[in-house]
Structure 1
Amino acid sequence: MSTSRWHQPYFGLKGKWLTFWITLACATDMTLFGYDQGVFSGVVISEDYLDVHKLNGPENTSILSIITSIYTIGCFFGAITAFYIGENIGRKKTVLVGTGIMTIGAILQASSFSVPHMIVARIVTGIGNGINTATAPVWQTETSKVHNRGKLVMLEMGLNIFGFSLSNWVNYGMSFVGGPLGWRFPLALQLVFCIVLFSTIPWLPESPRWLLAHDRETEAHSILADLEDKPLDDPYVIAERDEIVYSIEYERENAINWGDLLRGRTKAGTKTIRRLVLGSGTQAMQQFGGINAIMSYYLPTVLIESVKLDSSMARLIAACASVAYLVASLIAAPLVEKVGRRVMMMVSTVIQLFCFLLVTILLSFAEKPDFLHKVEMAKASVVWFVIYYMGFGLGMLGIPWLYPTEINSLPMRTKGAAVATMTNWITNFIVVEVTPIGIQKLGWKFYIIWTITNTLFLPIIWLFYPETANRTLEDLDAFYRDNPPLILHKDRDSTQVRRPERFIQAQGRDIEEAAENLRRRGSILVHDVSDEGEKSLNSPK
């Protein structure tokens, strides 16, 4: 690399390489998110942690539950923070703020010596994570091309599971070390991800859509050209910029404040409330699908309490299950554009429903005192916990983070993603708070709840959720300007995976118009130059 390249914007990187580095930063953020969610599952069963914080004994189940779940309350308030600052300071700076807060939280967790200390640490870490998870997917979506937008966000969620899997293996390995290092080192390891984020984000480009929304047209135009690896005067770049500007102006003319939104007073053509509900609804379905009843925080606990395994075997199975989870999430990345969001969410939900149904049946037999094969039944349920992970990883893991960044309009994108993230964390809190108590009080009947919720979600997805694969973000704005039906399973433009022909034709017309404008501009310039030359030749010497 030449010396001069170091002085160019983004070190001279353009096109795919520039997208790669943005994806690396966002993926690191999501890997940290996964690691942070998974690491505490090993902490809560560490003897030294329980001794230091005086949490031994079944009478402390509620306090343990509060310490674990309070993190999600921090994430909820972090999402609210992103809601207020995200549109003002931009995507990049917002993620840097969140990373700074997470750094403080990681240090506080690793140095904890009391319950209040750990509660504060969990809240601080949660605030930082809530800010980042509300913002990073938006930044990725707004800097990606239409054909790989979903793939990249799903890949990030796959790396989120890599972080989760890594935390499980670290927990398993450190369980042999024991003592303070056994739980403090896994918590401190979060700082490595923070260092990577601080090293990459500052030199990467801001979202061009955010820049255009804040009247920084020259900078946005330059970034659009760099992301496409095309010259500034390329018709495709100009048409893309003009289409984004049109959507921004349309939304501004039809903008409504939050007071009117809460009262249901909206203007025709934007469908703001419907889009907010659809985006946040995916996050509610993700959490009430039961993932955090058995995954991030409590799988070792579930295996110890419900399946009656010892601590070491529970950690090992949790670590192995996380690998299967990771594989499924990586398989989902290339499928999301080919199969579409709707089908993948429905397939994922069917698998979750089937797994919870079988877990419920098997554990009901396992808890019968007079049943001869209850140990075998309990162990058989472990297979369906693992298959549940894989089913969740195929769709309901990543799409709820992708969908809100696509379905909301540009002026509402940060707010819509923040509302969806807030929905995720408040429903996450409910699930995490009730799970240890539910397992303790209800036993196998606790899993009936998640069987029912997954059954209810299937018709909701089929009837109300439009396909967003292979559409530009501006296509989706045009889709809602045309007032689509609320129940849309029979509307082909709403459900087909392939990009609707009307959007392809509209984009073609925009590119032709931009090219024609460039030709006219060029001919005018040539005409002016010719006139100047003729005047110069005819002027007296």
Structure 2
Amino acid sequence: MLGMNRLEGAPLRAAIVVTGAFYFTLLGYDQGVLGGIIGQPQFLDTINNPNAIIQGLVVSIFDVGCMIGCAISGIYGLALGRRRAVILGCMLIVLGGAGQAAVYHIVQLVVFRIVTGIGLGIVSSNVPVWLAETSKARKRGQKVAVQLCLVLTGNVTAYWVNYGMGFTSGEVVFRIPIAWQCFYPLVAIVLALGLPQSPCVLYYWGEVNSGDEVLRRLYGGTEGADTALPGDTETSTALAAERTEILREIASEQQQQQQQRTPTATAGAKSLLLQSLGAQNRGRLLLIITLQSLQQLGGCNITAYYQTTLFSTSIGLPTNLSKLLAGFSAICFLLGTLPDVYLIERLGRRRLMLLGSCGCFTTMLLFTVLLALNTPSASWGAVAMLFSFQLYVPSHL
């Protein structure tokens, strides 16, 4: 950790990416772990065998916690800064994961699922921004694609850990997989302690000298050199341009906030949509919100949570085979991210998303039709469509 305080340039940016990697792997693991154990008899006996509605509540309450965490981050994110917010969120995840692993009652499970979700919401709102604020612009698209690849790595890990633990007996069947989620945030905390705050946040706080120093380190300047880095004209120009752009954006935001405090300004969300944003930016914001909502409604998380249930209950396959197929389906999800790492800067975000959305629509439609036919051959066709759906989802996201 002390050695990380001396990192500069590409090694420093790589360290920030690695720290984020543990979070994104955790995100995928959390998405998959409970879906694999929700049907385990040992787990259901421990929480007094709730009905299907309560089981759905236990799974979905995690996302409610994530929403709360995102809201907290939206209000207090800049005051905390990216680094401290990530550490706080990871601490909540460790607390929630430990509480779930020691579950003895369904109320305890629900409470700690919410705590974990809050922590994940805080971290998920800050890690991508932290990465973007410390990355060079031409690398941001690929880093986003790699992040999704890491999410699916965690998802695959969760399914295969659950499958392997299914051959054991007793409560370790579910306690070890749940407890394992604490590993990722613990490592992320240790790494984050040795990393600098985002220069954008430091400039926002008015700590210009500290912001200059972090920006210099990110561009690989030698210790004690001024911000302009006169020894490298290309780097000096890029650094100065980024510094100017950051300070300009902060000044613009502060000016808008000052205008909102005037007696004629309307406070709250109405101000955000009607006053502080121009018509063009307001349309962009609403478009982003709509697209993100539709992506989630498309079934990507539902299939991640309930793959085993889809294979066993909806398609009617044996339990052990369903778990095995869920593990291979998660691998398909992971494999679907690999082309995106290469294509995202070549095809562009819009074309790649349209390609993934068309693929998801077609495969899910065929999956539904084949389920309705309810014949042995149609059931295996539905399995194939679910696998194909997982291949298209990464591009859709």
Instruction: Tell me the TM-score normalized by structure 2.
Output: 0.91
Partner amino acid, structure 2, of 1:37? Q
Q: Which residue of 1 aligns with 2:131?
A: 140
SS of 2:77's partner is: helix
Counterpart Cα distance in 2 of 1:103 and 1:270: 42
Q: Which residue of 2 aligns with 1:480?
A: none
CA drift at 1:206: 1.2
Partner amino acid, structure 1, of 2:253? E
Q: Give the alignment partner of residue 17 of structure 1, picking from 4, 7, 11.
A: 11
- Alpha-carbon deviations, 1:300-332, whole Å to 9, x = none? 011111110111111111101111111211321
- Alpha-carbon deviations, 1:190-220, whole Å to 9, x = none? 1111221121001112111121122111111
Counterpart Cα distance in 2 of 1:186 and 1:392: 25
Counterpart Cα distance in 1 of 2:93 and 2:17: 20
Superposition pairs of residues 29-178 of structure 1, within 5 angstroms: 29-55=23-49, 60-178=51-169
Partner amino acid, structure 2, of 1:26? G
Task: Give ranges in structure 1 of 5+ residues lacking alignment.
Answer: 1-5, 367-373, 397-541
Partner amino acid, structure 2, of 1:298? Y
Q: How has the CA–CA distance of structure 1 residues 382 and 241 changed in structure 2, closer, same or farther, with 3 Å as cutoff?
A: same
Q: Which residue of 2 aligns with 1:280?
A: 289
Partner amino acid, structure 2, of 1:303? F
Q: Which residue of 2 aligns with 1:244?
A: 246
Task: Give ranges in structure 2 of 5+ residues lacking alignment.
Answer: 229-235, 261-265
Partner amino acid, structure 2, of 1:33? L
Counterpart Cα distance in 2 of 1:221 and 1:251: 20
Counterpart Cα distance in 1 of 2:301 and 2:376: 25
Partner amino acid, structure 1, of 2:86? V
Q: Give the alignment partner of residue 309 of structure 1, picking from 314, 317, 321.
A: 317
CA drift at 1:260: 5.4
Q: Give the alignment partner of residue 253 of structure 1, picking from 235, 248, 255.
A: 255
Counterpart Cα distance in 2 of 1:130 and 1:365: 40
CA drift at 1:275: 3.8
CA drift at 1:395: 3.7
Q: Is the 8 A contact 1:141 1:153 kept in 2?
A: no
Instruction: Tell me the TM-score normalized by structure 1.
Output: 0.67
Q: Is the 8 A contact 2:70 2:121 kept in 1?
A: yes
Q: Is the 8 A contact 1:332 1:395 kept in 2?
A: no
Counterpart Cα distance in 1 of 2:81 and 2:44: 41
- Alpha-carbon deviations, 1:228-247, whole Å to 9, x = none? 22452223322221122112
Q: Which residue of 2 aligns with 1:410?
A: none
SS of 2:316's partner is: coil
- Alpha-carbon deviations, 1:480-504, whole Å to 9, x = none? xxxxxxxxxxxxxxxxxxxxxxxxx
Counterpart Cα distance in 1 of 2:38 and 2:277: 51
Counterpart Cα distance in 2 of 1:7 and 1:301: 47
Partner amino acid, structure 1, of 2:298? G
Partner amino acid, structure 2, of 1:276? L
Superposition pairs of residues 185-204 of structure 1, within 5 angstroms: 185-204=176-195
Q: Which residue of 2 aligns with 1:442?
A: none
Counterpart Cα distance in 2 of 1:261 and 1:66: 29
SS of 2:137's partner is: coil
Q: Which residue of 2 aligns with 1:389?
A: 390
- Alpha-carbon deviations, 1:319-357, whole Å to 9, x = none? 011111112113212321221111111111000011011
CA drift at 1:178: 3.2
Q: Give the alignment partner of residue 341 of structure 1, picking from 324, 349, 352.
A: 349
Q: Which residue of 2 aligns with 1:380?
A: 381
Range 278-287 or range 26-35, more displaced? 278-287
Partner amino acid, structure 1, of 2:319? S
Partner amino acid, structure 2, of 1:39? V
Counterpart Cα distance in 1 of 2:239 and 2:274: 36
Partner amino acid, structure 1, of 2:103? S
Counterpart Cα distance in 1 of 2:117 and 2:145: 22
SS of 1:229's partner is: coil
What is the aligned residue count? 379
Partner amino acid, structure 2, of 1:239? A
Partner amino acid, structure 1, of 2:13? T
Counterpart Cα distance in 1 of 2:277 and 2:31: 41
Partner amino acid, structure 2, of 1:279? I
Partner amino acid, structure 2, of 1:168? Y
Q: Which residue of 2 aligns with 1:326?
A: 334
Q: Is the 8 A contact 2:367 2:382 kept in 1?
A: yes
Counterpart Cα distance in 2 of 1:132 and 1:330: 24
Q: Is the 8 A contact 2:2 2:194 kept in 1?
A: no
Partner amino acid, structure 1, of 2:35? S
CA drift at 1:170: 0.3
CA drift at 1:269: 4.8
Q: Which residue of 2 aligns with 1:452?
A: none
Q: Is the 8 A contact 1:27 1:157 kept in 2?
A: no
Counterpart Cα distance in 2 of 1:209 and 1:282: 27
Counterpart Cα distance in 2 of 1:65 and 1:142: 37
The alignment-based identity, stated in percent, is: 29
Q: How has the CA–CA distance of structure 1 residues 118 and 260 changed in structure 2, closer, same or farther, with 3 Å as cutoff?
A: closer
Counterpart Cα distance in 1 of 2:180 and 2:370: 38
Counterpart Cα distance in 2 of 1:297 and 1:27: 21
Partner amino acid, structure 2, of 1:210? V
SS of 1:177's partner is: coil
Superposition pairs of residues 215-226 of structure 1, within 5 angstroms: 215-226=206-217
Q: Which residue of 1 aligns with 2:274?
A: 265
Q: Is the 8 A contact 2:336 2:395 kept in 1?
A: yes
Q: Is the 8 A contact 1:140 1:153 kept in 2?
A: no
CA drift at 1:7: 6.6
Q: How has the CA–CA distance of structure 1 residues 14 and 270 changed in structure 2, closer, same or farther, with 3 Å as cutoff?
A: farther
CA drift at 1:375: 1.2
Q: Which residue of 1 aligns with 2:231?
A: none
Structure 1 residue ranges, 4+ long, deviating more than 4 angstroms after superposition: 267-272
Q: How has the CA–CA distance of structure 1 residues 254 and 320 changed in structure 2, closer, same or farther, with 3 Å as cutoff?
A: same
Q: Is the 8 A contact 2:24 2:151 kept in 1?
A: yes
- Alpha-carbon deviations, 1:342-386, whole Å to 9, x = none? 1111111000011011112211111xxxxxxx0110111111101
Q: How has the CA–CA distance of structure 1 residues 267 and 101 changed in structure 2, closer, same or farther, with 3 Å as cutoff?
A: closer
Q: Which residue of 1 aligns with 2:232?
A: none
Q: Which residue of 2 aligns with 1:298?
A: 306
